[in-house]
Amino acid sequence: MGELTHNYYLVLGAVVFSIGAVGLLVRRNPLVMFMCVELMLNAVNLTFVGLAWGLNDIGGQVAVFFVMVVAAAEVVVGLAIVVAIMRRRDGATSDDLSALRG
Amino acid sequence: MLFAQVIDTPDVDIEILIPLILMGVGALLILTMTSIKKDLPAWFITGWTVVVSLGAAVAVIPLWDRYTDEGPSSTIANSVGFDGFSLFLTVVIALSVAMSSLLAHSYLVREHLEGVELHVLLLLSGTGGVIMAFSNDLLVFFLGLETLSMAVYVLAAMHRRRFESQEAGMKYFVLGAFSSTFLLYGIALVYGATGTTNLSEIQQFLQVQFLIDDGLLLGGIALMMVGLAFKVGAAPFHSWTPDVYQGSPTPVVAFMASGVKAAGFAGLLRILSVAFQPIVDDWGPPLEVIAALTLIIGSLSAIVQTDVKRMLAYSSISHAGFILLGVIAASERGTSAALFYLATYAFLVTGTFGVLTVIGGEGDDDFSFDAFKGLGRRKPVLSFALMIFLLAQAGVPLTSGFFAKFEVIAAAVDAESYWVAIVAMLAAVVGAFLYIRVLISMFFQDAADDAAAVSVPRTVGVVIAASVIVTVVFGVFPGLLDDVAQDALAELNVPQLTIDG
C-alpha cells in the first residue's frame, strides 16, 4: 500500500479544476457556468490545503478562507446580473447574449 | 490559561494606509448617507466622490516626501508595500476615479439613471485598485483584484435600459471570474513551489535557490500570467474587451481603460518584473509573444471596425501591448516607462471617452463614424480636444503619447527584445491610420442634416480640458512626469523581520 502524499491532492485539484474549466466553456446555462467557477475555486482551495499540508505551513489554509469569501461574493454579483437580464429578457444563456459582436 | 494567551498582531502603520482608507470609508459613508437621507442632490454625491478621490491623491504628497526621505518600507506583516510605485499608481487610480465620476454626473441625468450606486462602485473599485498597487503579498493582491473587479462587473451592467450594457456585464463577469480562478490557481502553485505568498520572500527565495524540478513554479507563473493578461486585455485573452467596452456605459469605459488597466499593470509589474525578476529568462519569452500578439491583433482589428467605441476598445488592446514592453524589460527603466505610459494614457483615454460620452447622445449608442461627421464645424473646440487625444494616442510628437511610446520601446531595446520593439513600431504606424480615420470624418466630411445636436455639460468640459492640458504639458515637458516616474520604482528588498526556519 502506498502512502497518501500531498501529490494526490494536487492531482485531484488539477482534475477538478479542469472539469470546471471545460464545463464553463461548453455549457450555455449561466447557473451551470457559475457552478463551474465554484468548482474551479474549490479545486484551488483543495490545492492550497494540500500544499499547506505538504509544506507544513499554515499560510495555505488561511488562504482558503479568503477564497471562500471571494467565491461567495462573486456568485452574489453574478446572480444579480442574471436577475437584471431576466427582468428584460426570457433567457440569459450565452446564446441569448449575442447583441455585441463584430 | 487559554484566555490569557496573547496573540501577536502585526504592527499597522496607519499613515501609509490613509489614501486607501479615505477611498474605502468615503464610499461607505456616502452609501450610508443616501440610505438615511433619500433625496441627496446629485451634485453633492458627485462632489463627494471627487473630493474623496482627489483627497486620496493629495494624501499621497506627504507620503511621497516620507518615501523620498526614508525610502521604501512595509507594514502589516510585510503584506503591504510602501514605495514610490504604489504611491504613483494610487494617484493615477484616484484621479481616474475622480474624472470618471465627473463624466458620469451629467451622463446619469441624461440617461435617467440618477443614483449613488455608480459613484460608490467607482470609489470601491478604486479602493481595490489601490490595494493592488500597495500589495506585497499575492493574497492581498488577489483580494484587491476581486474588490476592483466585482465593482466593475456591476458598473458594466449599470445601464438598466440598455440590453447591451447588461450583456457586457454578464460577459465581463463570466470571463472575469474564469480568469480570476486561473490567477488564483497560479498563486496556489507558486505558494507550493516557494512556500510563501509574500512577494519579497518569493524574490529572495528565487535569488538564492536554484530549483531543479521547477514545474510547479513555472506552471504557477504561467497560470498567473493568463489571469493578469486577461485583466489588462492582452491577446489572446482580449476577446472580452471590445464587447465590454462597446456595451458598458461610456463613463465606466473611461474608468476601465484608465483605472482598471493601471491596477492590472500594477500587478504585472510588481509580480513579474520585480518579484520574479530573477527568473526573467523563463517568463520573458512567452510574454514577448503575448505582447507582440496584443500589438498586432489590437491595431489590425481596430482598422476594420465601424463603431468608434469598439475601435477604441481595440486601440486600448494595442496600448496594453505597448505597456507590456515595459513589463518585459523587467528593469528599472522598463518599470518607470510603463508607469509614465499608464499615467499619461489614463488622461488620454479618459478625455477620449469623455468626448464620446457627449457624442453618444441620449441612449448612449450612436458611435458610428457618421456621428462624427462635420463635428469640426459644429463643435470646433470639442473636435480640437478629440484631435489632440487621438494624435496623442497615435504617438505624435509634442503630445504625451509620443514620449510614452518612445520610452517603452527604448526600454525593450535596452533589454534586447529587438523583435518585439520592431513589432511595436509597426503597430504604432498602423495605429496612426485608424485615428486619422476619425479625424477625416470629423473635419473633412459634412454632417447629415438630421445630425443630433451635441452639447457639452460643464463637468465633462472640465475633464476634457484637464486631460488636454495634461496631454500637452507632459508632451512638451515630459521630464516633469518622467522624473517622478523614475523615482517611483517598486522596491521589494525591504529590510525584513527574520523569519525563523
* Interface check B154 vs A, CB under 8 A: yes
> How close, in Å, is residue B148 to chain A by CA atoms?
12
User: Is cis: bond before A30, omega within 30 of 0?
Assistant: no
Q: Which of the residue ranges B44-48, B65-69, B256-260, B313-317 would you say has the lowest mean pLDDT?
A: B65-69
CA B429, chain centre distance (Å): 24
State the architecture of A6-88 in CATH terms.
Orthogonal Bundle (1.10)
Confidence of residue A41 (pLDDT cuts 50, 70, 90): very high
Residue B119's pLDDT is what? 93
pLDDT digits (tens, 9 = 90+) for A65-96: 999 999 999 989 999 988 888 887 777 677 77
- pLDDT at residue B148 above 90? yes
Q: Which of the residue ranges B175-179, B212-216, B372-376 would you say has the lowest mean pLDDT?
A: B212-216
Residue with the larger pLDDT of the pair A96 and B108: B108
pLDDT digits (tens, 9 = 90+) for B171-194: 999 999 999 999 999 999 999 888
Mean pLDDT of B32-41: 88
Size of interface A-B (CB pairs under 8 A): 115
Sign of CA dihedral B458, B469, B404, B397: positive
Residue B7's pLDDT is what? 77
HSE (side-chain half, CA atoms, 13 Å) at A52 = 17
Confidence of residue B213 (pLDDT cuts 50, 70, 90): low
Residue A46's pLDDT is what? 93
Residue B468's pLDDT is what? 93
Cα–Cα distance for residue pair B235/B249, rounded to 1 Å = 23
Residue B128's pLDDT is what? 95
- pLDDT at residue B379 above 90? no
Cα–Cα distance for residue pair B184/B172, rounded to 1 Å = 18
Residue B497's pLDDT is what? 42
Average pLDDT of every residue of chain A: 86
Q: Is A85's CB within 8 Å of B167's CB?
A: yes
Residue B494's pLDDT is what? 46
**What is the interface pTM, i.e. ipTM, of the complex?**
0.93
Nearest chain B residue to A80 by CA distance is B154
Mean pLDDT of B57-76: 85
Cα B128–B239–B393 angle (5° rounding)? Answer: 75
Residue B3's pLDDT is what? 64
For B101-138, b/e burial (b = at least 16 CB within 10 A) is bbbbbbbbebbebeebbbbbbbbbbbbbbbbbbbbbbb
pLDDT digits (tens, 9 = 90+) for B303-329: 888 888 899 999 999 999 999 998 888
> How close, in Å, is residue B427 to chain A by CA atoms?
21
pTM: 0.91
Nearest chain B residue to A75 by CA distance is B177
- pLDDT at residue B476 above 90? no
Residue A8's pLDDT is what? 87
Write out chain B residues lying below 8 Å of A77, CB-based.
150, 153-154, 173
Element (H, E) at B196: none
Q: Which of the residue ranges A49-53, B152-156, B369-373 would you say has the lowest mean pLDDT?
A: B369-373
Q: Which of the residue ranges B85-99, B146-160, B478-492 would you say has the lowest mean pLDDT?
A: B478-492
> How close, in Å, is residue A4 to chain B by CA atoms?
17
Cα–Cα distance for residue pair B370/B307, rounded to 1 Å = 10
Q: Is B173's CB within 8 Å of A88's CB?
A: no
Confidence of residue B499 (pLDDT cuts 50, 70, 90): very low
Residue B348's pLDDT is what? 92
Cα–Cα distance for residue pair B346/B92, rounded to 1 Å = 7
**Can you give the residue ranges of every domain in chain A?**
6-88
Cα–Cα distance for residue pair B105/B386, rounded to 1 Å = 20
As a whole number of Å, the end-to-end CA separation of chain A is: 58
- pLDDT at residue B498 above 80? no
**Can you give the residue ranges of every domain in chain B?**
13-487
Average pLDDT of every residue of chain B: 87
Residue B264's pLDDT is what? 92
